[in-house]
Structure 1
């Protein structure tokens, strides 16, 4: 960002914080995918805003915060999900001066009790800004601002309370694993305003719809990420390609099976439930010799129990308790639409197939098919044909396709991305903090 956050108007600042919400991609999501983020009906959005005000904003006031670790002068590892936690855990294990930090009531899945909290009690004090900000965004974004007025409401006040927290604790630096969530972007702008150094550790594949890269140091997995961020806008700060730190402990355990017997099916909220059910109802009877396991994204809270009753042979992986690599270690092949799990699968030499359950995201959203990382099955017959071929023979060198996405693959640093990232981070901290 060329303009200092403190010099921006409130409307411009909220526009930056909500950048992803005003992209054609987000606005074009299906109502089913948006239901858990911003419901279609105005009445339901108003009810959610009321609930947020009572349970979250007012609840923050009475909820005590007792952090077990000292936040003053520490290196903050800011997380907004269990996936973020897993991606930054290696820094916490290596640096005694680092601490995990999240917003006061942010849900971090299985790590909910292991994260220090930043108080959001004063967030309520800044809601006098909401009418003016909503008006300003309506003038700039038109009907999208009215459609997502609830998301604008939630974002108000984050920047201000995070600036107060930074002034109070004066962290040595803040390390992020997410660059597009509303609260994450608010903290990034607050760090820029307060002069706190920032680092970004990529935790999943990126897309050209993301905000421009605006951290002081960015540790990206490979050339793919850098090329995508260049499409997003000017790349600020120092950039290093370090591979995928979270995969280090699994790369030596690659799948060596010469044929496919176990098939994982990964889905997320963008994939229609009826299409997922239809696919599995077709595949399980057609391939009784294969074991199928369904894994929904940890943020996907839809009920899959009926599907389990209809297909008793279907197995399930709970993403809230089982890590993605542990899941992939139990598979020989993966079927999924638009998810970075494809990349993680190929790194473990799991045959990965791109199959669209429905027209939700742009075709080949991450570009995995066009870059030759994975195979595409456009129809159910094509998918069945590909599975039969893989059941007979699976290549054992699939992981080599991932070199464009993982900079250390095939180098002396393969499997040592954590060490590489830690060296770069340590040297950078010595110079800036």
Structure 2
């Protein structure tokens, strides 16, 4: 995805922390990665608290991934949570086993050949994202070595597009290790094709989108959203909106976010507003507290999205899967773009499939909020049926059991996926 028009067209403030616009800053980033990560990994020996040999690996690349796969750690006794040696897993950093990347440094001799090949296929973007190419080198080779050493029974991933996750998937395919995928958030038609032996998707929406991404390999099962199970019984039954969340991510413009809050708080003094940035958003929003003393804040690094949403009646956000999670809890949700960035409109298709409504101006946003301030329906969650296969069925709230059952059956006969 790193060389696509979608990625290259991200707003400058979004791309900057990922791959700086200045070539000198990219060079400094590469040098920092080489010193802190590559050399740092060499100097630090990995000592894991659990045995990895012959286990089912639950590979995570983020805090959200951990939240999505942790239930399998309990459901599958021979499973272990693993991550790359220096991967940041948020508040779970100390709770995962690590795959050593000490040898990653040995594979940088292939950098010139890799760069030349990508220059031929991707053109100038190979130079623009040279730092990302540099970061990705060596994962495949190191993970192949780890697979040969530990011989895991299977590898389960919740991410199918990060460089290290893609490298592990390819390494598993080369080494003959069965792979499974558990969807951890909404997907789009810009994702790579499904290439796993078993894919556990939340609902028909995900399957339809993956079919547009390319051929679907292996077996697919629609299991609902396991991470939502514990919260569906706490669905919001408030008859009117009193608490409003504004969630943002790195795509959203700071000035537009500020203007939205400047409009909302004086316009709706009886409502309680809470601001929640994405856990990966490094911007300093402390100025909003001084600007709006009544504004509350939620730290996504400490409070899961469902924990947060149980305290809200409405959500205002742009392109985020939080819309789906809110709707599942019967929290009224509105799609509103903060700024006019070049990212795709309605990225997840929530508006197109009538999961949420949209507003294109502050007056429209205000009109929507006044309507729900007067009356909030109790059946909003039914809009999510297309996205969650267990919604409205006897297995609603039991997606974890369903996913674990399918995985256990598959682990007993991994070749069944190839025959399906």
Aligned-pair distance for 1:92?
Answer: 0.4
> Residues of 1 paired with 2:118 and 2:45: CA distance?
34
> Residues of 1 paired with 2:234 and 2:74: CA distance?
22
Aligned-pair distance for 1:359?
Answer: 2.9
Aligned pair 1:302/2:274, yes or no?
A: no
Structural RMSD (CA): 0.7
| Mapping 1:135-174, distance limit 5 Å | 135-174=116-155
| Mapping 1:417-428, distance limit 5 Å | 417-428=399-410
Aligned-pair distance for 1:139?
Answer: 0.5
Aligned-pair distance for 1:211?
Answer: 0.3
Aligned-pair distance for 1:307?
Answer: 1.2
Aligned-pair distance for 1:23?
Answer: 1.3
- In the other structure, the counterpart of 2:73 is 92
> Residues of 2 paired with 1:214 and 1:43: CA distance?
37
- In the other structure, the counterpart of 1:280 is 261
- In the other structure, the counterpart of 2:53 is 72
Aligned-pair distance for 1:272?
Answer: 0.8
Instruction: Please give the per-residue CA displacement for 1:279-317, whole angstroms capped at 9, x wherever unaligned.
Output: 111111111100000111111111011111111111000
Equivalent residue for 2:27, pick from 46, 52, 55: 46
> Residues of 1 paired with 2:45 and 2:284: CA distance?
33
Aligned-pair distance for 1:30?
Answer: 1.2
How many residue pairs get matched? 414
Instruction: Please give the per-residue CA displacement for 1:193-249, whole angstroms capped at 9, x wherever unaligned.
Output: 000000000000000000000000000000000000011000000000000000000
Q: TM-score, normalising length from structure 2?
A: 0.98
8 Å Cα contact 2:249/2:278 also seen in 1: yes
- In the other structure, the counterpart of 2:12 is 31
> Residues of 2 paired with 1:229 and 1:147: CA distance?
28
| Mapping 1:233-252, distance limit 5 Å | 233-252=214-233
- Secondary structure of residue in 2 paired with 1:418: helix
- In the other structure, the counterpart of 1:193 is 174
- In the other structure, the counterpart of 1:391 is 373
Instruction: Please give the per-residue CA displacement for 1:40-88, whole angstroms capped at 9, x wherever unaligned.
Output: 0000000000000000000001112110000000000000001000000
- Secondary structure of residue in 2 paired with 1:102: strand
Instruction: Please give the per-residue CA displacement for 1:9-65, whole angstroms capped at 9, x wherever unaligned.
Output: xxxxxxxxxxx1011110111111001100000000000000000000000011121
> Residues of 1 paired with 2:35 and 2:403: CA distance?
42
Structure 1: 5+ residue runs without aligned partners?
Answer: 1-19
- Secondary structure of residue in 1 paired with 2:252: coil
- In the other structure, the counterpart of 1:331 is 312
Aligned pair 1:373/2:355, yes or no?
A: yes
Aligned-pair distance for 1:432?
Answer: 2.0
